[in-house]
Amino acid sequence: MSNLYSNIGKRVPKLDAPDKATGRARYPQDLTLPGMLHGKILWSRYPHAKIVNIDTSEALKIPGVMSVITAKDLPYRNSGFMKDNPPLKRDKVRSLRDEVAAVAAVTEEIAEAALEHIKVEYMELPGIFDPEEALRESAPLIHEENKNNLVKMKYKFEHGDVEEGRKHSAHVVKGRFKLHFVTHTCLGTCCCIADFDSKGKLIMYSPSQVPFLHQKDMADVLGMSGSDIRIIQPTIGGAFGSKLDLYPYEIICAHLARIAGRPVRISFTRMEEFCCTPTRQPAIIESEAGVDADGKLTFREAHIILDAGAYVSWGPTIPYVMMNSFSSLYRVPNVSFDTTIAYTNNIYAGAFRGYGNPQGTFVVETQMDELAELVNMDPLVFRILNSNRPGETTPQGMKVTTCGLEECLKRAAKGINWHEDRRGVTGKIRRGVGLASFFHVGGGARVYRSDGCGAIVKIDDFGQVTLITGSSEIGQGSETVLAQITAEELGVRVEDVKVINSDTDIKPWDVGVHASRTTFIAGNAARIAAAKAKRKILEMAAPEMGLQCDELDINNRFIYYKANPEKRVRFDKILRKKHFDYNGNIIVTEHFYDPPTQRQDRNFKGNVSATYAFGTQAAEVEVDTETGIVRVLKMVVADDVGKALNPMLLEGQLEGGIAQGIGYGIYENLILDKGRVMNPTFLDYKIPTVNDMPEIKVEMVETHDEEGPFGAKGIAESGSIPTAAAIANAVYDAIGVRIKGLPISPEKVLKALSKK
């Protein structure tokens, strides 16, 4: 089938790679505007304290300091999902990353020096750092306007009858799992530039992955109209969900620029990146699951306790996705899921690749292995027995159209030599294998009223095609895949397509980069806009060639007669002729694609995505029983990708996702002590280096989804989702102990072994 296409299914290098390989790509840190000042933020000294007084007079006297601002200089408007986060804190601080004051100066050094001359008088308050303790009656209040520290958000889902399911169970497992703090560590730290033009319009150079939501949030918090805010996205040095929310530093940057009357850049140090950006949402998960005597799942029941931190960013909304892991991964007839979310004085949590699914899948897949053992089945056979199937509707009302999970399970198992007997290996080093699968949205996610993306196709007199897409390039390769889709639809080459995607004044609206949606949603928008352009070209060409429109097609830049391909004309020639003819015309077409999906109702039921992605990872590990060190030897990933539009970029997404999954599973741990990040350097917070990476084998299962562009599904988050679970199951296979908290550190392994 692949030879049907000239651009689809090809290993096309990323269009932006040459600029990135030569140092030409410009990240926010690389940009300097005339007259630009440098902003710095004064962070709180305490995790919980009243602000009694702030004296900025000494800081203002320092030569080169242009402005110093505190909450008094800002309108009374909050940011954040629950509008609970003042950009600069007014009367109290609630975490060590709270913004107290900010300086703009002619150099970064002067700005930094000025911070030391801002005198803040605090009255320290007792802090609370554990979500369960935060809910006790005696706990100090974090937001005084509330009666307690409970975040007023609830995700409660019921399907079937859990008690009935329990009654019919031959075996039940129960566990309490603890998922920790980890952080994105984008190599490019947070950095933005704010600049006001002479009409008072704000131009933000921002690494946002959701520029149109950003524009709206920024307008609300600044008290401006969205049309007066232009977001320009320079090259983005990594995002992974970290740039899904509008953060106080960006609002502060705009205020500094407004007050100083000059452009201002704020650029985080690596230490600020570790201490003052959102983490992945930590979680305590109490979960029960059952199986009948035949090995069929009977029920799942989960209670989730989340530590929001001091403010609500996207973190506490992750149950929306985590719920899917419990309700929809494998077929389970009875499900109960609910949440308790608490404020604490920790740094707050945000979105991170997988959005609650890595946490949920770790629990679900650990318990799948436990159940398989109790019912005396091979974990692979047990999973296949309970696998999702095409045509089914999950308890949350998600309609599974294409589904390759069973094949993914088989191919992952085959790739890891599942049936090889590793028990012969004795001595201190033991080997084991483990499996884990995932269920995730693969065709967008209708979490807002619209899940759409706009696309404009324009073709110039020389045959150069420009795709103006609402979507954003954050390194994942969307612009390349969109160029392939556009080229394929139009009958031109990838190199004929230029992609414009970084300016909200130009590009049409899009929700943004989240939920693995860009290839699917922006891809369909581009494809349909390109199809409209093609139709228009053929309509122009038909009278010129003395033929009917339907008798013509375009391939490799030529319009040709389908019955006799020898009869052909270069399409740019037709475009020029029609452009300069009397009553001339040019090619500009557009499409706004909004998928045929529903928002979930109050009971969290609804078909939110136009298709769903599935996949399995198999891990082979080695555990040193003397040191407790776990080493991943090999990972096999088999994903139902719909159709691999660009296998090279797809492999890159999966390999990179797995690297983050390995970090989450065995290495990374952001250690907080009384709200303070104790390891804010790459030396102490270990992300995988090249030496920590195993061999990775990627298997693509193509199910050709009917709604997807050329059959594709979204997969960008999936690499990270089941990795930690597969490793944990492999560790159990190797040494016979279950580790129910991440990371699977040597300490945890040794402790578990000593209790065995």
Residues that bind another protein (CB under 8 A): 11, 13-14, 16-27, 29-30, 184-189, 235-240, 269-270, 474-477, 648-649, 651-652, 655-660, 681-683, 687-691, 693, 696
Closest distance to another protein from the beta carbon of 182 (Å):
12
- Burial of residue 493 (CB within 10 Å: 0-12, 13-18, 19+) is middle
The DSSP call for residue 52 is E
Closest distance to another protein from the beta carbon of 41 (Å):
17
Closest distance to another protein from the beta carbon of 30 (Å):
4
The length of the chain in residues reads 756
Looking at 334-408, which runs of residues are DSSP E strands?
335-343, 349-350
Looking at the Cβ atoms of 269 and 340, the one nearer to another protein is 269
Q: Note the helical H segments in 23-102.
A: 57-60
192, two tokens: 């933005």
Give every CB contact of residue 198 below 8 A, 6+ residues apart in sequence.
none
Looking at the Cβ atoms of 175 and 656, the one nearer to another protein is 656
Give the β-pairing of 429-441 and 349-350: unpaired
- Burial of residue 34 (CB within 10 Å: 0-12, 13-18, 19+) is exposed
Q: Is 16 helix (H, G, I), strand (E, B) or coil?
A: coil
Closest distance to another protein from the beta carbon of 190 (Å):
13
Looking at the Cβ atoms of 248 and 475, the one nearer to another protein is 475
Closest distance to another protein from the beta carbon of 466 (Å):
22
Looking at the Cβ atoms of 18 and 736, the one nearer to another protein is 18
Residue 433 CA to residue 633 CA, distance in Å, equals 10
Residue 460 CA to residue 483 CA, distance in Å, equals 16
Looking at the Cβ atoms of 179 and 649, the one nearer to another protein is 649
As a dihedral over the C-alpha atoms of residue 203, residue 204, residue 208, residue 214, rounded to 10 degrees, the angle is -60
User: 453 pairs with which residues across the strands?
Assistant: 510, 593
Looking at the Cβ atoms of 267 and 745, the one nearer to another protein is 267
As a dihedral over the C-alpha atoms of residue 650, residue 656, residue 661, residue 664, rounded to 10 degrees, the angle is -150
Residue 488 CA to residue 496 CA, distance in Å, equals 11
Of 286, 329, 408, 353, nearest to 698 (Cα)?
A: 408
Closest distance to another protein from the beta carbon of 237 (Å):
4
Which position has the token pair 């990476």?
693
Looking at the Cβ atoms of 286 and 692, the one nearer to another protein is 692
Closest distance to another protein from the beta carbon of 756 (Å):
33
Residue 633 CA to residue 651 CA, distance in Å, equals 18
Looking at the Cβ atoms of 185 and 287, the one nearer to another protein is 185
Closest distance to another protein from the beta carbon of 540 (Å):
36
Closest distance to another protein from the beta carbon of 481 (Å):
12
Looking at the Cβ atoms of 175 and 647, the one nearer to another protein is 647
Which position has the token pair 């095609």?
465
